[in-house]
Chain A
Amino acid sequence: MNQLEIRDLWASIDGETILKGVNLVVPKGQVHALMGPNGAGKSTLGKILAGDPEYTVEQGDILLDGESILDLSPDERARKGLFLAFQYPVEVPGVTIANFLRLALQAKLGREVGVAEFWAKVKRALELLDWDEGYLSRYLNEGFSGGEKKRNEILQLLVLEPAYAVLDETDSGLDIDALKVVARGVNAMRGPSFGALVITHYQRLLNYIVPDRVHVMMDGRIVAEGGPELALELEAKGYEWLRERVKEEA
């Protein structure tokens, strides 16, 4: 039961149904990729997993290690070990990364975290990301470049060490070096006690973070699944053939 399971999930926003029966399982210890054309519902799925109150879940369930988290608030889900790296991280003016990260870590662990312990953790993460300590005293995402915002999401991932992470297009907007750095961060988390769903449009990222499985979402449903080779096939052929196949099946 050590897995993140999405079971026949239907969800809507402003009366518009976006997810139409998503089924997907990410076992702990594995990294899966989620691909699909623009507007397929990938970010929607990520936000619903994290508990975004803007969306209404119509049907289905989300199970974390066998336990439904649908009724939990976003912070309760986070404290249970779920993490979402946002496609568009939010700016919070006046709140330093250091301050915020320590509060988040304390919330996650449910106890005070001493300065020494905190710094040790953060230092390691910064080194892995090739990042300057100076960023810690900057305000959360305020005035950050697109790439810096993404790197900051991975910094949080490394410090908070969740059991499951959804990374929403953490690779988009990154230069090659930054891409490698982010991949290094995610790979550092890989291991038997970590599962991840990596949303991406590009095979490029998957060269560095090689997925155990690849899922393809179209129009709010998972329409194909396979090994890493599926991503290569999509890269070569695009989505049209899949779309045709889905039509035929219907």
Chain B
Amino acid sequence: MSEADLRALGEEYKYHFVDEVKPVFVAERGLTRRVIEAISYHKGEPEWMLKFRLRALEIFQKKPMPTWGPDLSGLDLDNLVYYVKPAEVRDAKSWEEIPEEIRRTYERLGIPEAERKVLAGVGAQYDSEMVYHRVKEELERQGVIFVAIEEGMKKYEDLFKEHFAKVVPPEDNKFAALNSAAWSGGSFVYIPPGVKVELPLQAYFRVNTPEFGQFERTLIIVDEGAEVHYIEGCTAPMYSTESLHTGVIEIVVKRGARSRYTTIQNWSTNMYNLVTQRALVYGDAFHEWLDGNLGSKVTMKYPSSYLLEPGARTEILSIAFAKTGQHQDTGAKIILGAPHTSGTIVSKSISKGEGRASYRGLVKVLDGARGAKANVECDALLIDPESRTDTYPYIEIEEDTAHVGHEATVSKINDEQIFYLQTRGLKEDEAAALIVRGFIEPIAKELPLEYAVELNRLIELEMEGSVG
């Protein structure tokens, strides 16, 4: 992060704009067998996938709603629309092929420009479908695949079947089952052995339809010694009724590979964001989750890394910002399943007004994971007296030679810091924003510059008029 973030200035939730888009197909409300058959039909799927969906639907219907976490009672699953096909086109290779109203949205969000300047590839999802996908030609020549998940299923069926739903099976949890039944959109990514993709690939998720559920499903396979950074960004217009985003992200990081998955979620605050993200990490490979949760009404998200072979490593960095009306229930999960695996969790949360940020994490060392090491650090910052934070750290160690450290702090914005910064001319809320930015800096500095700037801008906006 450097000078550019200083330009950041506050304004209202700038992603609130409703597009005049006439979808080509809208499913009836509720999740029924009929709706699933319609989704499958519109995608022209193979029979086995429809069977998979229907099996997942049964699992979903059998599993109870989770009650151990945030309040989900405002989520009316029967009233949601589960599939909206925005246009006939999927995976267009040029923005011109996309209906103008939709294209305008991405232009407003600055996506085509970012694609030209700082990205190796871009995917864009609008409601239920990926309308755009394109990766730089030289990467395509090297065998990099970056397409809509539907295209992955059809064109690369063997590779797809080998991994799909193997990392996160539908039985994993109720919302993984929901996604498995209703999934639509998301990316299929394959990086061949030894190929290093230097600039990030980015997928951008936009929800426009109210009372809608978006069920992105992404599968990323990073082959031996390969490298990739995948970024996911999310926004939606603000509606008075609830919407749902339930993604499943599956990542396979093979021997000696490196991958990073970054999410900056700034959903409008009528969104339930219930996501399952998991990476399987093999020998000497490294996987990093970088997770920024700023928007949504409720988020439940615990990116997890399964370290399966010796020398596998992971780092999970997360920032959550919860303001009044928001509950960010986020955290991380690391399973250390082989000797000399290691993992780090750094979680920073900020609660403002009546906002509530919870850290929920699990570190588990399996028997036989000799010399495995893990460290957890979670820091919470409370802005107001009524702000709330909770920590639920679970640690299970079956191996005597393992080392697991855990540290948690809760702090308040310190009056002396505010006064000090004020004596240098900063207004009270600017001072508070600067302190908050400093608090998350260890994570923010890991972000690509544009995102760091955006994050700072958002924090300044959130902190405006927040004190005094």
Contacts and interface: CB of A to CB of B under 8 A. Distances in A.
Interface string A97-111: 011101110111000
Given A90-B417, A102-B3, A75 B438 contact: no
Contacts of B435: 92, 95
B434 A92 contact: yes
Contact of A94 (B414, B424, B431, B440): B440
Contacts of A53: 415, 419
Interface stretch (A34-42, A76-84, A226-234, A241-249): A76-84
Contacts of B5: 99
Interface residues on A, range: 35 or more
A195 interface: no
Interface string B420-448: 11111111101100110111111000000
A193 interface: no
A74 interface: yes
A77 B3 CA distance: 26
B427 A78 contact: no
Contact of B423 (A50, A98, A139): A50
Contact of B438 (A51, A89, A94, A107): A94
A81 to B, nearest CB: 10
B438 A78 contact: no
B71 interface: no
A51 B418 CA distance: 12
A222 to B, nearest CB: 23
Given A53-B419, A102-B3, A139 B425 contact: no
B416 interface: yes
B24 interface: no
A80 to B, nearest CB: 10
A91 B417 CA distance: 7
B439 A94 contact: yes
Label chain B's interface by main secondary structure.
helix
Interface residues of B, number: 29
B420 A89 contact: yes
Nearest to B420: A90
Contacts of B430: 103, 107
A250 interface: no
A52 B328 CA distance: 35
Residue among A53, A95, A98 with most chain B CB within 10 A: A95
A92 B423 contact: no
A95 B420 contact: no
A86 interface: yes
Contacts of B421: 92, 100, 104
A73 interface: yes
B422 A51 contact: yes
Contacts of B6: 99, 102-103, 106
A83 B3 CA distance: 24
A191 interface: no
B424 A100 contact: yes
B441 A75 contact: no
A179 to B, nearest CB: 23
Given A51-B423, A75-B431, A94-B439, 9 more contacts: A74-B419, A75-B423, A75-B426, A77-B423, A78-B424, A94-B442, A99-B5, A104-B425, A107-B424
9 contacts: A74-B422, A74-B423, A77-B423, A90-B417, A92-B435, A99-B5, A100-B424, A103-B434, A106-B6
